[in-house]
Amino acid sequence: MSQLFTPYTIDGLTLPNRIVIAPMCQYSAEDGKATDWHLMHLGNLSMSGAGLLIIEATAVAPEGRITPADLGLWSDTTEAALAKVLNAIRLYSAMPIAIQLAHAGRKASTAVPWAGGRQIASEQGGWTTVAPSALPYSPEEANPIALDQAGLDRILHGFVTAAQRAHRLGIQAIELHAAHGYLLHEFLSPLANTRTDNYGGSLENRMRFPLAVLAAVRAAVPNTMPVGIRISATDWISGGWDLAQSVVFAQALRELGCAFIHVSSGGLSPLQQIPVGPGYQVHLAETIRAETSLPTIAVGLITEPEQAETIIANGQADMVGLARGILYDPRWPWHAAAKLNAQVSAPPQYWRCQPHGLKTLFNTH
C-alpha cells in the first residue's frame, strides 16, 4: 500500500493524502485583490487530487507585499475578492485549502520577476521597506527602516486580523511565512538582525517576534484551525541561521501549539551557496521531525512519485510539498497514484478519462 496516498490528520484537519501544493506567488493581484487569474490557477490545482492546497504568500499589510501585484488580505475588499475565488472552487472541489500569511520585510517593493525583480524606488511607485535592522538585502538596494515597537505591534496586529479574515472565509489552515528572507526570517537570522534590544542578539531574542506572531495568530482563531509555519532551516551562509537553531525554534513553536512545520531553506542573502539537487532539503525536514516530532512537510526538487513515496515511507517527513513540479504537471497526483497503484480523488466530470487498465485510479465513492 502506498504511504504517500494514506490520509494524514493535522489538529483535526484530515488530508486525503500526503501531497501538499506549496504556496507559489503568482504576482497577479490588483491592489491586493485576487483576480480571475487566481480563479483559474487555484481552480486548476484544486482538481489535481493533492491532499492540501496552500494559497500563495498573502500579505498582511500593503507594505508587506513583495511586489505591487502580490495577493493581500488586509481589508474588506481584499477579503471579498478572495471569497469570490474560494466560493467558485468549493462548488466543485472538496480539497482542503490553507493560506500562507506573509510580510516581505526588506524584500518588499520589487518588480515582478518577469520584469526583472529589482527593488522599485518610492518615486517610481514603490514604498519604503521595514526590517528588524536597517540592512538591505543587497548593496544596491535602499536601507529599510528598522522597526520600532509601534511598528512591530502594527505588523503583529496585521497577522492577527488577516488570520481572522482567513477563518471567516472558511480557509481550513494557516501557514505563517518565516522563510526565504522575508520579515519573520529576517528576525531569526543574525545576518539580517543586528538589534540590541529584546528582539536581537541572542537566539532567544531573535526568536521572540516570530514566536509572538505564532502565539497571537494561534489565539485569534479556533483550535480546530491548524496554524503552522514555513521556515528556511538554513541560510546556507557561514554565521547565519542554521539547522541547529531551527531545531530550537521548532521546539519552541511546538510548545506554543504550532500544528506543522514546512521546511525550506535559503533566500536571506544573495551570497547563499545552495547545493541544489533532487531532494536537497529533505534532510533538513528529517532532522527537525526527529528532534521535535512536529508534523513536517519536506519540499525542494521532489519530482518523482517514487521519490516522494520513499520520503514518506522512510519517515523523513509526514508530507511532501510540490511547487514548480505541479505547475509543470498539474495532474501530478493522478500520475503518481497510477505509478504507485493507489487511488486519487478527481471530479466526476473527468472520471471517463482514466486510461485503459487504470479503471480504479479514481476514487468514485
Q: Which pLDDT value is given to residue 358?
A: 87
What averages of pLDDT result for each successive group of 10 residues across the chain (365 residues)? 97 97 98 98 98 98 98 98 98 97 98 96 94 97 97 98 98 98 98 98 98 98 97 97 98 98 97 93 98 97 96 98 97 97 94 88 86
> Of 330, 309, 308, 331, which Cα lies nearest the Cα of 321?
308
pLDDT tens per residue, range 12-27 = 999 999 999 999 999 9
Question: How far is the C-alpha of 300 from the C-alpha of 186, rounded, in Å?
Answer: 21
| Rounded-to-integer distance, Cα 225 and Cα 220, Å | 10
β strands within the chain, DSSP E: 8-10, 13-15, 19-21, 52-59, 97-102, 130-131, 145-146, 173-178, 227-232, 261-264, 296-299, 319-322
- Taking only the tens place, the pLDDT of each residue in 138-169 is 999 999 999 999 999 999 999 999 999 999 99
What is the model's pLDDT at position 352?
Answer: 92
Q: Residue 365 has what pLDDT?
A: 74
Task: Kindly report the backbone phi and psi dihedral angles of residue 72, in degrees, each rounded to the nearest multiple of 5, phi listed first.
Answer: -140, 165
Active site residues: 182
CA-CA distance, 65 to 110, in Å (whole number)? 9
Q: Where do the domains of the chain lie, and which CATH numbers do they carry?
A: 8-353 (3.20.20.70)
Look at residue 364 in the predicted model and tell me its pLDDT.
82
H helices present in 304-365, as ranges: 305-313, 324-328, 332-339
Mean pLDDT of the chain: 97
